[in-house]
Structure 1
Amino acid sequence: MLRILSNCHSWRTVLLLLVLNFFSLGLWSQTENFTQTIKGVVLDQASEEPVIAANILVLNVEPLLGTATDFDGTFRLEGVPVGRHSIRISCLGYEDAYIYELEVGSGKEVVLTLKLTESLVVMDEVVVKADRLNGTPNNEMASVSSRSFSVEQTKRYAAAVNDPARMALSFAGVNTNDDGGNEIVIRGNSPRGLLWRMEGVEIPTPNHFSDQGASGGGISALSVNMLANSDFLVSAFPAEYGNAMSGVFDLKLRTGNNEKREYAFQAGVLGLDISGEGPLGEKGGASYLGNYRYSTLGVLGQLGILDLGGEESIFQDASFKIQLPTTKGGYWSVWGLGGLSNSTFRDSLEQYDYHSDRGVIGINNRRYLAKNDYLETIISYAVDQVTDEEFYAEDNFSGAEEFTTRALRVSMLYNRKLNARSTFRMGAIGSRLSYSFAEWEEANRPRVTLINEEGATANFQAYAQIKHRVGTTLHLNAGLHTSYLGIGEQMAIEPRVGMRWNLRPGHVLSAGAGLHSRRDPLPVYFAQVPTGADTYSQPNKELALPKALHGVLGYEWRFHPQWRLQTEVYYQDLYDVAIASPNAQGDYAGAASALNFDSGYVTDSLFADGTGRNFGLETTIEKFFTNGWYALATISIYESRYTGRDGIERNTRYAGGYVGNMLIGKEWPVGKNKTNLLGANIRTNVAGGNRYTPIDLEASRIAGYTIRDNSRAWENQVAYYLRSDVRISYRKNRAKTSSIISLDIQNVSNRENIYSLYYSASSEKVVAETQLGLIPVLNYRLEF
């Protein structure tokens, strides 16, 4: 859809804008000693009860700054100099926790939600403490293949462009096969296996220009103005996560400032963005937080950065969260996310009009039943709609589709901290999934209806899990997840186990195993297969849930407080995978498998007889952000295999073989009083090239279009993928505002990585379809 124009004009334009903005901000100007407020709440990790008398200490200032939490666990620390600071949170009877290199700007107060883990008491009340470490997931039930990520990482990492999915490309085992979208391939799995959650409940994919059944899209609809620190899991998930096979993004929305009104304005080549937050009412701690963005990709075309070929693409999104604490009714929050995207093109030979819209709204209530337990209830309603109208004069083809899915969900979670050693959690989720699917096409023949279905079904999930600390060094967790889908009355029972063993200080052995399933996109179940002139069947209604058995063994070595080395080896056994019918004929049917689908809807008759397996080794070396710099290097070597109807085991579409990443960044305090921040980082990614099915050149010349040799499905591989991205940013702090200007140069070398190969009828030869080249993304942000 988008093609780069890497000419001198666009380069000079971008560099000129960058220089002018840097000087307009007064890069080297003298500054005053600006300060800001850090405030928030400290909670018990297991029970989420307030922690009283916890000490919060800013480590790298003279004189030292510190405070303690009140009876409600809240704290307020004023007069903190702007810049980067490390903070220690400690309390008698709890393990210490640290926040390193927290960014404090003059435009916004810093609001934190901090959690401490209770220490185990042994040997006549001697408390054994261990620090809560960088990268530890927020979900204490997660023991392996999981990590937390911060909002700042999604802003700071080169080419992330405020998108969690693109940020995750820097992590081990994560790759993408298409620069034009943000779908991610995790350990060789199809992107369809990824689950998105927000505020504790499943949501539609939060991306613009996303197809039915896809987990990604062209551009994220998420705003970093709204997100809090969240979790990313890639294998052997805890029992509370259902309907996921390859990975989970467990997103949290932050709470707005309940004492002061604050705003942020952002402008860049991807659009205009505005957010606001502040207190609701004069007292009581209620707050609001909201964000709106409008963008047209035509701006990139006008700047000479992208050639849109006459296509018009527009998107907008909005999100909000209202927090309402009450005396007797617990904590209430109302939140939502919505996105609209549209792409159109019209000329005499080709016309299309594509809409991809989705939204979700939720109400959460958390009530503390006793000192160490709480009940959380969530009611959410989500809509996911894709419409597409197409006309191609050359083939006399016209067609249209409209897929709409609605989900009403009620979720209840009960959490109890049994004691310092054990935490128990259980829950249930009931979903009413309503749908309306229609698609037709015609091309030199009468109109054919591919799907025409409307109705509703139910999906029920329940889970229970427990975490137990055998001693100060061994943590165990176990759980069970069950799910039931009304279509075909399909049920799955999924046990999960995990373990973390601190062999000695700095050395951790971890392991996890679990069974996981994910329902196919709903249109798949209602595909119509003709059985006569005016009759059809729907064989996919009985399709079983695809399943994956995960096993992971990991080792982590914290050889320095600021460094870690982590290695994981994993094996995934996939079964009940949708493949072609036993009656299907031809090489394509014999090699077809849902493990190679990137989006959801297919019109074929499918049977859950396929299998697959993924296995590999991953290593990560990470330097946490301390002393002004950070680094991350990963290498993943893996295999991804599947077996279709013909019984032949082949490489999957996503079997690149290896992925390597290197990210390194540095930040310098500048200005007279070192209160401004200049940052730069570079990320390089190398990976095995995309797989493709070989082209039968002679057959393609006779037919006039691409004919592939499906007996050799996904046998070939394009050249290796190589890309480097650079980010430069500068924060200027003033008395009451902060200004941030950034430039992300994606694919800085302008290497034209190959996406796939196809037959060109005009040249009568096989040619390469290349991915995006250099894309500079300039952005300005004002906080006040």
Structure 2
Amino acid sequence: MKTLFFIFTFLCFPHLIFAQNSNGIIKGIIIDKETQSPVAGAIVEIINSEFKTESNESGEFIFTNLDFKNYEIKISSIGYNTLKKSDLIIYSSKPLEISFELLPSNLTTEEIEVGANYFEKNSNVNISSMNLDYEEVRRAPGAAEDIGRMLQTAPGVSIGNDQRNDLIVRGGSPSENLILIDGIEVPNINHFGSQGSSGGPIGIINLKFLQSADIYTGGFSSVFGDKLSSVVDIKFRNGSKNNFYSNVDLSMQGFGGIFEGPLTSKGSYMLSIRRSYLDLLKDAIRLSAVPNYWDMNLKLNYELNKNNYISMIGFSGIDKIEFEKRDLTDPESNPFENAFFNKESYTAGISHKYLFDKGYIQNIVSGTFSDNRLQQKDKLNEITEFKNNSKEREITIKSDLNYQLSGSFYLSTGLGYKNINSKNEIFDIQDTTATGYIIPELNVNNEINSYKLFGYVNVTNKFFKDKLSINYGVRADYFEVINNKTTISPRVGLSYKILPNTSLNAAFGVFHQTPEYVWLSTDEFNKNLNSIRADHYIAGIEHFVTPELRTTLEFYVKDYKDVPVSLDNPTFIILNGGTEYGPNLISKAISGGKGIVRGFDFSLHKKLTGDGFYGMLNYSYMKSEFTALAGGTVPSAFDQTHQLTLIAGYQVADDWLISAKFKFATGKPFTPYDIETSKSLGRGVYVMDRYNSERMPDYNRLDLRVDKKFNFKGFSIVGYVEVQNVFNKQNISEYYWDTDFERVGKIYHWSFFPVGGFSLQF
């Protein structure tokens, strides 16, 4: 009866079901990007409308009586660059609450208007950056609302495996990425994350928390350290201080709920809890076992007074997966069997921000903990071949000062301390590699107690009415447990505006990364490892064709030194690792490897504005070579010469979106097997004079997506349907020697994969 009543009401009185289309609200706060202080008196306009207002003394503004649709806002204030922001969507379920950061400027009003655009960039960033907001990630085809998968579309980021979120940036390993959330370092933002690396199969972060995300793919300032290739800087929004709201979500990442609301009039909270449901999709995404996981995201924020703010974030992931015996009736079945992988990971951090007249101080205390339990037995499920019981814990204390010395002179400096505890119980049976080297049995049970110290200073200078912007700085890092404890990393970047909408950019920097804890645990000798060094040389041009259309072209060289290479398997260099489901492991090693990556990235990025079109086109050319102790100089495991990503979308109506993504990449290098020798020895044997000389078939994949929004009285529904790998292209991820069938086996990327999701907001 209830169903019949709803249908009758829907047909006869639709105005009682659907929300009135003029009750939407936008609430905003405007702050100075450099000092984090409120900006009063800023003019706020909704583009292509008559709505206009001004921010109050607290930097706040509000628009009411708006239709439920997508808006663009323009914010201007004397002494600041004009900011334009798109993708501001109002739902009937709750007001849109958002913060805006204005960048100080020494230009005249007329000059500012000419250069105004929709793309945000910090003053300490000169080059190799991409900024994304919540809606760009949410609606991205192929990403399935996972921030990690969207970041894989950035210029210079290579394809690893469809089943993983690895960030392989300009030829670097996934272990080389720094991830920050509200300034708090998070080692891995994925379920089943690889120990000693940043990758994993599916993200822990709930996208509904996201305000914005920046990825820096090279030449980043001395503010960021202990990583070689990239920085992912994620900012969470704050929960509502006025009302309580809830979301029920179903997506590829799981099923769960989000709850937010006021703590008091000065604070708010957000909490999400999710559980996986991938057991329903096992066959479509070629899973040989069903992953089960839970995750939790938390953010709290509280205003002590107008100059002191406290916030807290927290994450947890509980993961379990078990691989049973292989199905030998299916030659294409996954060979990984008789194994389990259980992991628990936790991160929590509290931040105190103190604002003063010309800047702010931010103090952070955070902790991370991970418990990895992995075991694999032989084909008879009797003998343990590999076991890893490892626990890692870091406690970080850091303090950062950001100070505006004048209108064109900014100082950022900071100090930090990390307390480290790493317990590792690892067993790996003696084996002979496909390269012919005998790897002795590894059997360790040890504990590392140590600490790290770091400090940095970065200065930003602007000259000639902001035409020239220079960042220069240095950082020092100290790791107590290794013998060569201290590294110094100078860096410099500059941008010069040859036209109001065109800049020439360049950066040079020395980057160091300390050895991962799991590398040090495998052999006492590994304390002799140096920090890996990479020198970045980057030059490029940035041009705004229109305020919403940005294009960049960048050329780069990344020169690696002091890379760990295995003494037991001298063809193995650690920079070829990090994409494994187990730990990113190396046995007894020395810092004897080197490598060089050369290439260029071209990017065209279009924000969604009034014309309805949005998307990006990214093309990368790369040549990546590494030299270990044996095998000579060869292409790296991540050397994919040509890569192309095209995302194109169109807003058909206020509540309809259609989009597509096409991805192409040159096949990865591989070493062919000697078939006859492999058969006679009962194990895979490489043809060593052709080491990494062959190429897998080229990768290509097309994804399609449709988004639809519904606004009802008091609640909204946002849903999507997506088809990944529309043409069911059989892309090969890797080759292996299949001992069950005495042949070369293949591991594939995802096949044809339909997926959908919805969010019920109320």
The amino acid across from 1:419 in the alignment is S
Q: CA deviation at 1:255?
A: 0.8
Q: Aligned equivalents of 2:665 and 2:441: distance in 1?
A: 41
Q: Aligned equivalents of 2:368 and 2:137: distance in 1?
A: 25
Correspondence for 1:51: 39
- Equivalent of 1:463 in 456, 460, 485: 456
Say if 2:116 and 2:547, in contact at 8 Å, map to a contact too.
Answer: no
The amino acid across from 1:389 in the alignment is Q
Q: Aligned equivalents of 1:170 and 1:449: distance in 2?
A: 38
Say if 1:211 and 1:386, in contact at 8 Å, map to a contact too.
Answer: no
Q: Aligned equivalents of 1:728 and 1:175: distance in 2?
A: 26
SS in structure 2 at match of 1:326: strand
Q: Deviations over 1:25-50 (max 9, x none)?
A: x9xx9873242211121111211111
Q: CA deviation at 1:73?
A: 1.2
1:667 aligns with 2:647: no
- Of 125-134 and 480-489, more deviation after overlay is shown by 125-134
Say if 2:141 and 2:703, in contact at 8 Å, map to a contact too.
Answer: yes
Q: Deviations over 1:731-774 (max 9, x none)?
A: 01123211111112111111110112233345443343322201
Correspondence for 1:512: 507
Q: Aligned equivalents of 2:148 and 2:662: distance in 1?
A: 16
Say if 1:56 and 1:67, in contact at 8 Å, map to a contact too.
Answer: yes
1:597 aligns with 2:577: yes
Say if 1:397 and 1:441, in contact at 8 Å, map to a contact too.
Answer: no
**Cα separation, partners in 2 of 1:520 and 1:345, compared to 1, 3 Å:** same
- Equivalent of 2:278 in 287, 290, 297: 297
Correspondence for 1:737: 715
Q: Aligned equivalents of 1:89 and 1:65: distance in 2?
A: 12
**Cα separation, partners in 2 of 1:314 and 1:408, compared to 1, 3 Å:** same
Q: CA deviation at 1:554?
A: 1.0
SS in structure 1 at match of 2:208: coil
1:637 aligns with 2:621: yes
**Cα separation, partners in 2 of 1:231 and 1:81, compared to 1, 3 Å:** same
Q: Aligned equivalents of 1:545 and 1:715: distance in 2?
A: 29
Q: Aligned equivalents of 2:305 and 2:251: distance in 1?
A: 43
- Of 36-45 and 555-564, more deviation after overlay is shown by 555-564
The amino acid across from 2:590 in the alignment is F
Q: CA deviation at 1:131?
A: 4.2
Q: Aligned equivalents of 1:53 and 1:266: distance in 2?
A: 39
The amino acid across from 1:499 in the alignment is L
SS in structure 2 at match of 1:568: strand
**Cα separation, partners in 2 of 1:654 and 1:278, compared to 1, 3 Å:** same
- How many residues of Structure 1 are paired with residues of Structure 2 in the alignment? 726
Q: Aligned equivalents of 1:218 and 1:416: distance in 2?
A: 40
Q: CA deviation at 1:439?
A: 1.4
The amino acid across from 2:155 in the alignment is A
Q: CA deviation at 1:667?
A: 1.1
Q: Deviations over 1:86-123 (max 9, x none)?
A: 1110112322111124222222221111111223167x
Correspondence for 2:418: 431
Q: Aligned equivalents of 1:487 and 1:130: distance in 2?
A: 53
1:42 aligns with 2:30: yes
Say if 2:606 and 2:615, in contact at 8 Å, map to a contact too.
Answer: yes
Say if 1:269 and 1:300, in contact at 8 Å, map to a contact too.
Answer: no
1:708 aligns with 2:686: yes
SS in structure 2 at match of 1:632: strand
SS in structure 1 at match of 2:130: strand
**Cα separation, partners in 2 of 1:697 and 1:417, compared to 1, 3 Å:** same
- Equivalent of 1:323 in 270, 277, 301: 301
Correspondence for 1:406: 393
Q: Aligned equivalents of 2:734 and 2:164: distance in 1?
A: 15
Correspondence for 2:193: 210
Q: Aligned equivalents of 1:767 and 1:578: distance in 2?
A: 30
Correspondence for 1:133: 117
Correspondence for 1:244: 227
Correspondence for 2:544: 558
**Cα separation, partners in 2 of 1:328 and 1:97, compared to 1, 3 Å:** closer
- Give 4+ residue runs of structure 1 displaced > 6 Å after superposition: none
The amino acid across from 2:93 in the alignment is G
- Equivalent of 1:567 in 536, 553, 578: 553
**Cα separation, partners in 2 of 1:775 and 1:718, compared to 1, 3 Å:** same
The amino acid across from 2:561 in the alignment is Y
Q: How does 1:187-266 map to 2 (within 5 A)?
A: 187-266=170-249
1:144 aligns with 2:139: no
Correspondence for 2:526: 540
Correspondence for 1:17: none
SS in structure 2 at match of 1:609: strand
Q: Aligned equivalents of 2:311 and 2:602: distance in 1?
A: 40
Q: Deviations over 1:370-402 (max 9, x none)?
A: 311211100001102211122224385314211
Q: Aligned equivalents of 2:417 and 2:692: distance in 1?
A: 39
**Cα separation, partners in 2 of 1:390 and 1:97, compared to 1, 3 Å:** same
Q: How does 1:59-138 map to 2 (within 5 A)?
A: 59-61=47-49, 64-120=50-106, 131-137=115-121
Q: Aligned equivalents of 1:254 and 1:710: distance in 2?
A: 53
How well do the aligned residues superpose, as a CA RMSD in angstroms? 2.4
Q: How does 1:319-358 map to 2 (within 5 A)?
A: 319-327=297-305, 330-347=308-325, 351-358=338-345
Correspondence for 1:287: 268
- Equivalent of 1:451 in 444, 449, 474: 444
Correspondence for 2:346: 359
Which runs of no fewer than 5 residues in structure 2 stay unpaired?
1-10, 328-336, 432-439
Q: Aligned equivalents of 1:131 and 1:121: distance in 2?
A: 10
1:750 aligns with 2:728: yes
The amino acid across from 1:495 in the alignment is P
The amino acid across from 1:193 in the alignment is E
**Cα separation, partners in 2 of 1:128 and 1:394, compared to 1, 3 Å:** closer
**Cα separation, partners in 2 of 1:628 and 1:553, compared to 1, 3 Å:** same
Say if 1:668 and 1:679, in contact at 8 Å, map to a contact too.
Answer: yes
**Cα separation, partners in 2 of 1:396 and 1:603, compared to 1, 3 Å:** farther
The amino acid across from 1:571 in the alignment is V
**Cα separation, partners in 2 of 1:129 and 1:703, compared to 1, 3 Å:** same
The amino acid across from 2:617 in the alignment is A
Say if 1:269 and 1:299, in contact at 8 Å, map to a contact too.
Answer: no
The amino acid across from 1:459 in the alignment is K
The amino acid across from 1:478 in the alignment is Y
Correspondence for 1:14: none
In percent, how many aligned pairs have the same letter? 23
SS in structure 2 at match of 1:82: coil
Q: Aligned equivalents of 1:126 and 1:107: distance in 2?
A: 39
- Equivalent of 2:642 in 644, 655, 658: 658
Correspondence for 2:8: none
Q: Deviations over 1:539-560 (max 9, x none)?
A: 1011100010001101012122
The amino acid across from 2:415 in the alignment is A
Q: Aligned equivalents of 1:696 and 1:481: distance in 2?
A: 49
Correspondence for 1:12: none
SS in structure 1 at match of 2:444: strand
**Cα separation, partners in 2 of 1:767 and 1:360, compared to 1, 3 Å:** closer
The amino acid across from 1:596 in the alignment is N
Q: Deviations over 1:443-470 (max 9, x none)?
A: 89xx965221113111111100011111
Normalized against structure 1, the TM-score is what? Answer: 0.89
Q: Aligned equivalents of 1:564 and 1:156: distance in 2?
A: 20
The amino acid across from 1:253 in the alignment is F
Q: Aligned equivalents of 2:520 and 2:408: distance in 1?
A: 45
Q: Deviations over 1:565-594 (max 9, x none)?
A: 21000011110111133xx5xxx52x2211
Q: How does 1:463-542 map to 2 (within 5 A)?
A: 463-472=456-465, 473-489=467-483, 490-528=485-523, 538-542=524-528
**Cα separation, partners in 2 of 1:441 and 1:127, compared to 1, 3 Å:** closer
Which runs of no fewer than 5 residues in structure 1 stay unpaired?
1-22, 529-537, 670-675
Q: Deviations over 1:141-186 (max 9, x none)?
A: 1110012111111111101122222112222111222111110211
Q: Aligned equivalents of 1:93 and 1:348: distance in 2?
A: 66
- Equivalent of 2:564 in 569, 574, 578: 578
